[in-house]
Structure formats: structure tokens, C-alpha cells
Copies of this chain bind each other. A is one copy, B any other.
């Protein structure tokens, strides 16, 4: 439990373990690909099957499938098989907040840069 306290540790926080750091990095790297973000974004509207995601994202079926695998292995998405089709949905609700935070931060940053030009 204390292993994962990245932020705001007690005085002398116990130096986040190397293993923990690598898990965190991998988690971020899963979200660090445009196609995977497009998939996640598409799934914000709710569960969808692969074909729907292929059409919506404009990727090839093979590529979409592989990225879905990556996201599922990372427990970001959940997989539900129904007959011939496979339905994916968002399994980790923190994804919403994560994206909100990043978007907000980027907005603010770009607004500032734009203002810097204005004067």
C-alpha cells in the first residue's frame, strides 16, 4: 500500500520502488498513442464492438484489434464476447479524470502561449 504512494509521502517518503515506477510508466505509455486515445475516446460513449471502432477511428481492422489488446491487457478496457462479435468498454473509470486533467492542462498552456503573442 505504501509502495504506491507517489505523491505527498510522509516526511522522507520511502522512495518509490523501481518496480512501481516502471508500472506507472507503462500505464502512461498505454495512453501515449493517438490510435489508442481515439479508441478510448470512442468508448466514452459506451460499449462498442470492433467493427464499429474500426469505422469510427478509420484504422485497419488488424491495427485496431492489436491496440484493443494492448488496452485490455492494461486493464483500461474490458472485453465481452457475444457470438461472433467482441464488445469493448472502459474498465478503468480513472481514465476519464486522466484525460480531463491532461486536456485542461493543455488548454491552459496553449491559451497562455496564444496570449504571449497577443502583446
User: Which A residues are closer than 8 A to B by beta carbons?
Assistant: 1, 4-8, 13, 16, 18, 20-29, 31-34, 36-38, 41, 44-45, 75, 92, 94, 96-107, 109
Q: Which of A13, A38, A44, A101: most chain B Cβ within 10 A?
A: A101
Residues on B with beta carbons closer than 8 Å to the beta carbon of A34: 18, 21-22, 25
CB pair B7–A100 under 8 Å, yes or no, is yes
**Closest chain B CB from A4 CB (angstroms):** 4
Asked whether, in the complex, the Cβ of B101 is within 8 Å of the Cβ of A94, the reply is yes
CB distance from A37 to the nearest CB of B (A): 5
- Chain B, residue nearest A25 (CB): B34
| A75 interface neighbour in B1, B96, B109, Cβ under 8 Å | B109
Chain B CB within 10 A, most for which of A27, A29, A33, A44? A27
Please name all residues of chain B whose beta carbon is closer than 8 Å to the beta carbon of A7 when the two chains form the complex.
Answer: 44, 96, 99-100, 103
Q: Tell me the bound Cα distance from A31 to B30 in angstroms.
A: 11
Judge whether B99 and A6 touch: CB under 8 Å. yes
